[in-house]
A and B are shown apart, each in its own frame.
Chain A
Amino acid sequence: MNFWERLYLPAIFQGMGITFRHMFKKKETIFYPEVEREFSENWRGMHSLKRDEQGRERCTACGLCALSCPAEAITMIAAERQKGEEALYREEKYAAVYEINMLRCIFCGLCEEACPKEAIYLDGPIVPADYLRKDFIYGKDKLVEEPMKVQQD
């Protein structure tokens, strides 16, 4: 390096010119909670337990999703469908308790591949942050789809 280069100044001024130009460029920030980035079509978010055309829960508590889960995030307790509950559950067996630990889940999507009843899909929003570990264990209250209004009318 010659004396002028060893002073570093020309290179520094060049660099400062570049950073100064960036001050007036369009900001790349997306203001997350207010604005959401567009998700790709096969994006995997929070799980939802689906209902069929008549608004009945599809899940039959076979346990294949829990078995396929590499993170062992899914637990369930099965129960027999009683008389008069035909409008609630499609199969003769259903999940009385269905819990997913969102801190364990790695959103790989193997549960939706394993499901023979097409009952679980990872098509929800981003799982929100929380303060306590126990609040990350999502039960059926958070996972099951809203009953379809059209069917009940």
Chain B
Amino acid sequence: MSRWFAELRLIRRSYLSLWSLALLFALSALAVVSGLQHVARQHATIERVAKAQAQDFAAVAATHGKPDGDAGDAAYYSFLLTRDAPPPLAFAAIGQRDIQPYVLRVRALGLQQQLYDAEAINAELALPGVFDWAFVLVYLAPLIVIALAHDLVTGEREGGRLRLLLSMPGHGLWWRRIGLRYALVMMALGLPLVAGTVLSTAPLAGTGAMLLAAALYLGFWFGVALLVGSAVQASATAAAGLIGCWILLTLVLPTLANAAITRAIPAAKGVDLTLAQREAVHRGWDIAKGDTFERFFLNHPEWRGREAFEGRFHWKWYYAIHQVGDETVATDVAAYRTSLLAREQWSARAGYLLPGVAAQSVLHRIADTDQAAQLHYQDSVATFHTTLRRFFYPYLFADRPFTRADFERIPAYVPRAPTGSLPLAPLLALLATAALLLAIGGYRIARVSGAGRA
């Protein structure tokens, strides 16, 4: 223990080390606070929308809930709330939640035109990303590792202490120094996360999984620092080399990989599906009603024979147009989802080679804030929307009145079940790369000789 304490004192008396660790702690704490505020804002938004929604729904029910009420009016004016409340660990890894909708008011009209409203609102936020704990870990923590470990050997050589140090008995000098810095970086990074977990009453197991991912990712960077630091003679060269690695591994290669994946797997935007669905709906006004109903009955034969109505307009025709509109773009929707999932899978595969990508995808999966989580929310909205249609269609096609009591029976949205998980493949990839680099770097640093003059 004595050697560990001696090393700890050496770090404690080094201003660079202290300031680096303090900076990391401050950044981590700031990111956690920022994440908690982001989550609180989303909760507040959901609460605010739910309150307004309840007032709006009550007003609609009061207006249209009559003994001879029309289900078409009720379905048209009744917006129902769906929400995807931030998962407990979202504060640490906000993921897609800042650019994807998490509260949607849907009605029994075409689904696709209601799903992607938010995509066009704040897509620009996707460019810089959000400042959360995952950002601090993936992008900033490696810089602190570089500051603390780049001159592990070269600093002693330049300071003229290398031969004296190596002339001392005992083993494991470099591992002790790396181990201590590793532990301190983990503490500076992890303590605010644990505090955030306690404050948000998130499950500790999820936080543990995040810390595991962080430990492996930082292990990778300490391995890189060992490798580069043991290969060069000057601290400035080591620092420049490591900054080059950081630029390459966290900025350039992920951007290139993203560009390649985007190019290789084209995907329409959600707003394109909205437009396509809207066009199909508008076309419904221009074609014969019989044609619309025939297409409608292909998937809803139970209502065949109920389509007749007098006059130029009936809600059942209108809802059939919307239903057909959704079904017209069903293939495009499936392709869109397949493309998104394929991109996600290829991003995960890129993570096997790019630890920053792996760490990010692992954190977002654990926090349940990634693309998959967003698709789960969309699925839950789609399921609810189907339930809504099934609720209203008997009223519409059987010409049943929609009374005040029927408003009470309108189904409510059931939030999706949490899907956060610990993805093993990227974690194992992180473990493999970290272990490999630490082993090679450790082997090289163990061969550092005092035979030079310094």
The yes or no verdict on A and B being binding partners is: no
